[in-house]
Structure 1
Amino acid sequence: MEWSLNSINPLTISILIGILLLILVFKPTKSSGKAPPGPKGIPIFGNLLQLGDLPHETMHKWRKDYGSVIWLKLGSVNTMVVQSPSAAAELFKKHDLPFADRKVPDVLTAYEFNEGTLGMNQFGGFWRVLRRLCSMEFLVNKRMNETTELRHRIRDNMERWIVEESERSKDGKVQISHCLFLFAFNLVGNLMLSRDLLDAKDPESRQFFECMNTILELSGTPNIADYLRWLKWMDPAGMKRKMVKNLDVTMRIAGKFIQERIDDRKAGKFREKKDYLDVLLDYEGDGKDGPDRITEKNINIHITEMFFAGSETTSISIEWGFSELLRNPQTFNKLREEVDRVVGLNRRVEEKDMENLPYLQAVVKETLRLHPALPLLLPRNTMEDTSYLGYKIPKGTQVFVNAWAIGRDPDAWADPLAFKPERFLNSNVEYKGQHFDLIPFGSGRRICVGFPLAHRVVHLAIATLVHSFDWDLGPGIKPQDIDREERLGLTLRKRNPLYVIPNKRLNV
């Protein structure tokens, strides 16, 4: 009798598969030393099912029982979570290099997206090339100074979009996050491609906005295929298929602008003043590190990434800050009084005013303390076995730095859950990676390269919203009704977008 799989009882097959999975997950490994403490997991899944919808909050709660460095088993993936300023300082000051690699979610391997990015690329030559080009050509301080008027122009457009969206709305309300996204997106577009890319009335704008939200949500959603890695080929949650669909839209929209430039250059049309896209297209390696040229595919990926990073994190930081101001009318009024005193009512706020607005600076710091755009930063990956705070951390360990929890550390911050910008007045604490109780942009080699731009844009936008408009929450809505509920993707958005009614305050 010929043997076939069909001749085996289905229950027997299920049992055999279950035993095989258990062997794969719990195959004994040689211990390399003591691991940090952490909650006990369950077979196969480890701690994965215990994280909930907001893993950064769950991890923060575990600190009470297990300390500031905890060890998790997420499926088959060893994971360490750093949750205090002192533990973060130890990591970034003494162990930054061995922890400088990235642990890449499976969804970001769609289109080999991670291989063309700066944020999720593996630590190595190509990453160093992108980092150097981005910091020296795109976000260098000289270029930031040269593009001040550009930011003012796009800020003026944002004000116009707010008014127009209010006029189109039946109740006069505006979803402020959409206008802020357009503001940040077109700003990045002008810095990279020297042009406005999206308009508030353009359906393609809304499509890009929605697809990008989906991409960021997929990027930050725990995916069973990342932690039970033999399931990757199945894509059991369908997340990679969804990622491909949404990446296809966003890369097509961004890619058409890149193709126009390539076609112009082939036709002999070159710009007198180069922008960042020209820099990428002109790049030739120095023969020492990285590739000789950057492929067209990777340019498309990197440009798309910069739109994501520059528009998403900036716009949600502005929305959180503005929401906190509306929740706290006394704070709002205090900031408005400062801006009115420095700027007056006969002109708009300008970037040159920022150094004379210490309370605004404190508001931004307090916003980033309570609402870091990337609550767990981006996951790192250990490149070698490392001794850290007396623990033995094996190669291939995923490392999260819980910036959200660090910003709420009661040992570092008095009344940590309250929005109190006053705590930063007469304080030298900055968020440039050297004060480890405030690290919304990270620290070390993988610190967010875009924080100098975010610094300027968040200050300018919040000051503008406070100075240029009066705001109405709508009938029956009180400041305390504005919630702090969070929705986690790769970034930390408000679960319930802020809707407000604007009334122009300035006639300039």
Structure 2
Amino acid sequence: METLSLQSSLQQGYGIIDLALSNIVVHFFQGATFSVAISTIFICLTITFLYYETRRRNLRVQSFDGPRGLPFIGNLFHLKRNIGIAAEQYRIWSREYGDVFQVQLGDIPVLVVNGASTARAIFFGNSGALSSRPTFYTFHGIISKSAGYTMGTAPYSKSLNLGRKKTPLGKPAVASYIPILDTETRDFIRQCLDTSNGTPIDPLPLLLRQSLSLDLSICWGRRVSLDDPLLREIPDVEHQIVNLRNTMTNLQDCIPLLRFPWSSTTKKAESLRERRSIYFTELNRELDERIQMGTQKPCLRADLLSRPDVTEEELNLICLSFISAGMSPTSSTLDWSIAFLAQRPDIQEAAYQAISTHYNSDVVLGEAEDDQGCEYVVALAKECLRYFTTPRASLPRSTVKEFSWEGKVIPVGTTVFLNAWGCNMDPNIWPEPFVFDPTRWLKNPNAPLFTYGIGYRSCSGISLANRLLYLFFVRLISAFEVLKGSDVDVNPVTGATTTEDLVCSPERYTVIFKPRDEARLRQALRKC
């Protein structure tokens, strides 16, 4: 009822604006004086301003305080001007307004949840109410028309719930992906050895290949090489699509007055949708041909195609989720980690000694079947996830049921942000949160980690991501000393590339991968 009432009032408001604009035309055609025309324009703009601002203020969630914004744009200007990284500004504002406060992104009111204990209480205590995602004009209305949503971005529905249940991402399923993890991490080590050869290289292309090849192998049974055209196309498209979900920079999502079919953002979204549709269709076609010829490798899509209980919508939802979720967060976390390790030989050495002790030998690559047995490497991976928190704000939630927090009502349809960055930097959980220290996880291994989100709608691929990070660090540190090739700021706030990125990445840099024992490493790589 509130939505219908809002739509009705919006139509009435636009009707008034249209009437005022019509009067301008009439005045001109009737030969009205210039001053009358200017006065009419002024009245029209005043009516537009008053209507929009009244509506924007009425949309705010009652009883929740927060920084006051500017007309039309709300808090967007303050977020861009002060810090540039919204999650850090939210963390700072939480000192003044408390763990739960309100901001307005254009005309979208958002409750921002900061602080580890508060986040756990709200998202675990009200998981059913916070089970959906808000829909945004650009991503949900334009980009997702062809291939559909991903599991992370889809509003709650029966199809989504079934799709999540049918997606094999639990620990038993991840164990079946070990041969793929083994192959892709070995190839990464091999490419580092052959490409670097004592000279500084940019590791990002190698990381992107590893992530994309892992995802495509699992879903379509297809690998990619460094010269594969898909390695240029898919990461570029997915990166741009992710950034169009950034409400801080995609103004037409936040300000309805900017939504035009001919806007540059709309045109960009349509182009990305078509580009995504092309490679998604091509991947499906290639697999269909291999199935007909009987040459397909075991993969997720082929398995799901043989199941009568999986619909086409669920099939697309699952496969697209692997591509979208598997690219940016994983690659960015490893990108930050390599840059950081190059500047911290002490942490590399501590990890190397722990790995050698765990395997009772001077290990060369480590075993792919090892399910995170080396505690220091597990701690290192968790600290990289915490310290860099590449998705600074988890994907937003939308309430499907009303609930209360500290006596304040949070109505249906409210957008809620989990500030994962702020929670990971909570000093009530971690002393000196801005210090990188893997040993904190050895002392407190069950401490909460918010990088994957929490509660229902948290990341479905946690087990797979953790196994990849563990094996990656074991093999990287066993095989190489990572040396700094160029200077790069590895501070997670000041070193972020741009505020345009929803998933934070460091500036491009180079490192040298120096083999610890090149002869033994090459011999180990020849065995695969």
What's the TM-score once normalised by structure 2's chain length? 0.83
- Cα distance in 2 for residues equivalent to 1:248 and 1:467: 43
1:337 aligns with 2:353: yes
Equivalent AA in structure 2 for residue 66 of structure 1: Y
In structure 2, how many angstroms separate the alpha carbons of the residues matched to 1:41 and 1:182?
42
1:277 aligns with 2:277: no
How far residue 381 of structure 1 moved from its aligned partner, in angstroms, is 0.9
Partners of 2:340 and 2:421 lie apart in 1 by: 16
Q: Give the C-alpha shift of residue 80 in structure 1.
A: 0.1
Task: State the match for 2:187 in structure 1.
Answer: 157
Could you tell me the percent identity over the aligned residues? 22
Structure 1 residue 189: Cα displacement:
1.2
How big is each residue's C-alpha offset from its partner over 1:92-116, in whole Å with a ceiling of 9 and x where there is no partner?
2221111211013333122435843
Counterparts of 1:429-468 in structure 2, within 5 Å, are 429=446, 435=448, 438-468=449-479
Helix, strand or coil at the partner of 1:80:
strand
Rounded to whole Å, the distance in 2 between the matches of 1:452 and 1:277 is 20
Which residue of 2 is the match for residue 83 of structure 1? 114
Q: Are the equivalent residues in 1 in contact too, given 2:75–2:103 (CA < 8 A)?
A: yes
**Among 267, 283, 291, which residue is 1:241 paired with?**
267
In the TM superposition, residue 132 of structure 1 has moved relative to its aligned partner by 1.1
Alignment correspondent of 2:381: 364
Q: 1:248 to 1:301 in 2, by over 3 A?
A: farther
Aligned residues: 480
**1:288-367 matches, cutoff 5 A:** 293-295=311-313, 299-300=315-316, 302-343=318-359, 344-345=361-362, 347-353=364-370, 355-367=372-384
1:147 & 1:3 partners in 2: Cα distance? Answer: 67
Structure 1 equivalent of residue 79 of structure 2? 51
Superposed counterparts of 1:170-189, under 5 Å: 172-189=199-216
Consecutive unaligned residues of structure 1, counting only runs of 5 or more, are 286-291
Question: Residue 99 of structure 2: which of 65, 68, 77 is its match?
Answer: 68
Residue 336 of structure 2 contacts residue 490 of structure 2 at CA under 8 Å; is this kept in 1? no
Note closer, same or farther for the CA distance 1:27–1:141 as it changes in structure 2 (3 Å cut). Answer: closer
CA pair 355-302 structure 1, distance change in 2 beyond 3 A = closer
> Is 1:209 the equivalent of 2:231?
no
Which secondary structure does the structure 1 equivalent of 2:459 belong to?
coil
Task: Tell me by how many angstroms 1:64 deviates.
Answer: 1.4
Query: Which of 181, 205, 217 is the matching residue for 1:190?
Result: 217
Q: Distance in 2 between matches of 1:123 and 1:26?
A: 30
TM-superposed deviation, 1:421: 0.8
The secondary structure found in structure 2 opposite 1:81 is: strand
1:38 maps to 2:55: no
- The within-5 A match list for 1:136-151 is 138-151=168-181
Shift of 1:203: 4.1
What is the rounded CA distance, in whole Å, between the counterparts of 2:61 and 2:282 in structure 1?
53
The answer to whether the 8 A contact 1:216-1:489 is kept is no
Q: 1:279 to 1:354 in 2, by over 3 A?
A: closer
The alpha-carbon distance between structure 1 residues 252 and 166, as it changes in their structure 2 partners (threshold 3 A), is farther
2:419 to 384, 402, 411: 402
Tell me by how many angstroms 1:78 deviates.
1.4
> What displacement does 1:346 show?
5.5
Alignment CA distance shift 1:441-1:74 (3 Å): same
Gaps of 5+ in 2: 1-21, 29-36
Alignment partner of 1:92: what SS? Answer: helix
Structure 2 SS opposite 1:356: coil
Distance 2:38 2:316 in 1: 48
Q: CA deviation at 1:148?
A: 1.5
Mapped contact 1:324–1:419 kept (Cα < 8 A): no
Secondary structure at the aligned position of 1:89 is classed as helix
The residue type paired with residue 375 of structure 2 is P
When normalised by structure 1's length, the TM-score is 0.86
Q: Which stretch of the first structure deviates more once superposed, 96-105 or 171-180? A: 171-180
Q: What is the SS of the residue equivalent to 1:51?
A: helix
The alignment partner of 1:305 has SS state of helix
User: Which secondary structure does the structure 2 equivalent of 1:43 belong to?
Assistant: coil
Distance apart, 1:496 and its partner CA: 0.3
